[in-house]
Amino acid sequence: MSAYTAQNDQPSRKSFQISSNGVSHTGHVRSKNEDSILVLADENVWIVADGMGGHHAGDFASQTITNNLSLFKQHESLDDNILLLEENILNSNAIIRKKSFKLGHNATIGSTVVCSYLWDNYLFTFWAGDSRLYRFRDSKLERMTEDHSYVEELVKMGKIEARDAEDHPAANVVLKAVGIDDNLRLDFEYFEIQDRDIFIICSDGLYKDLEESKITPILESNSENMTELSEALLSTSLDAGGTDNTSIIALKICKKENDV
């Protein structure tokens, strides 16, 4: 039993049951997997981090985030929990910065992050970079995070179409990430959950090779089992190219039938 349910007996906080599964793969092109995932279901925390830096230890950056956050334990207060999660990511930022300085001024180490936390009837999410959170509700797939990337800025300025962003020469340029600046400012949002919502947290390896229009049918066909869903998304992405490390966490919200 999680600390969440053990320490709180308010019915609203036990009205949903959560199933989740995470997968990560190096892909067909890269020699090393610099992604890192964390499924901390007992504490209602799910994280995808996509490291950047190649031989400058992108894997160190992503694993620093997930290793630190694996120590998270829920408190009684939502405010305390949100603050702890944010402080943990900011602490990871400081650790990665120190590593970068040790490697020299030209070293670039960083990691995207999407950190989602469930409390009551809401999913709270911190993010930096171009890893994403999607929601699948009523047969509609919706992106819930905004990429911190150069091509996203071009799309917002109307200089390129969204459909052309992934093929743009600067598609890999990330404008914000954990570890690339001393003063990290995470984006933060929260979303009210509903019965049978499915959330997908992923690194860019998923949507680089698999268009969003092709993700929806996979969700529709595998909506009951999050292990099967995450594995189906991964295998289809790999079949479509596997040009990057790919990490996926599938998370489903179900209302408990015996709740009054």
Rounded average pLDDT over 16-34: 95
Q: Which of 259, 112, 119, 254 is nearest to 180 (CA)?
A: 112
Question: What pTM was estimated for this model as a whole?
Answer: 0.89
Quote the CA–CA distance of 72 and 88 in Å, as a whole number.
8
E strand residue ranges, 59-156: 110-119, 122-128, 132-137, 140-143
For the chain, give the percent of residues with pLDDT over 90. 72
Kindly list the distances between the CA atom of residue 149 and the CA atoms of 128, 214, 253, in Å, as whole numbers in the listed order: 10, 23, 30
C-beta of residue 76 within 8 angstroms of C-beta of residue 106: no
Rg (CA), the chain: 18
Q: Is 79 helix (H, G, I), strand (E, B) or coil?
A: helix
Domain boundaries, given as residue ranges, for the chain? 3-255
Residue type, 134: Y
CA distance 9 to 25: 39
Closest by CA position to 26, among listed 230, 237, 171: 237
d(CA 198, CA 135): 6
Superfamily of the domain at 3-255: PPM-type phosphatase domain (3.60.40.10)
pLDDT, tens only, 151-209? 665 656 555 556 655 665 455 667 899 999 999 999 999 999 999 999 999 999 999 89
pLDDT computed for residue 71 by the predictor: 96
Taking phi over 0 as left and psi of -120 to 50 as alpha, with beta for the rest, 138 belongs to: left
pLDDT tens digits, one per residue of 64-121: 999 999 999 999 999 999 999 999 999 999 999 999 888 876 778 999 999 999 999 9
Q: Please list the residues that pair with 219 across neighbouring strands.
A: none
Query: What pLDDT is recorded for position 256?
Result: 80
Do the beta carbons of residue 201 and residue 23 sit within 8 Å?
Answer: no
* Helix (H/G/I), strand (E/B), else coil: 80: helix
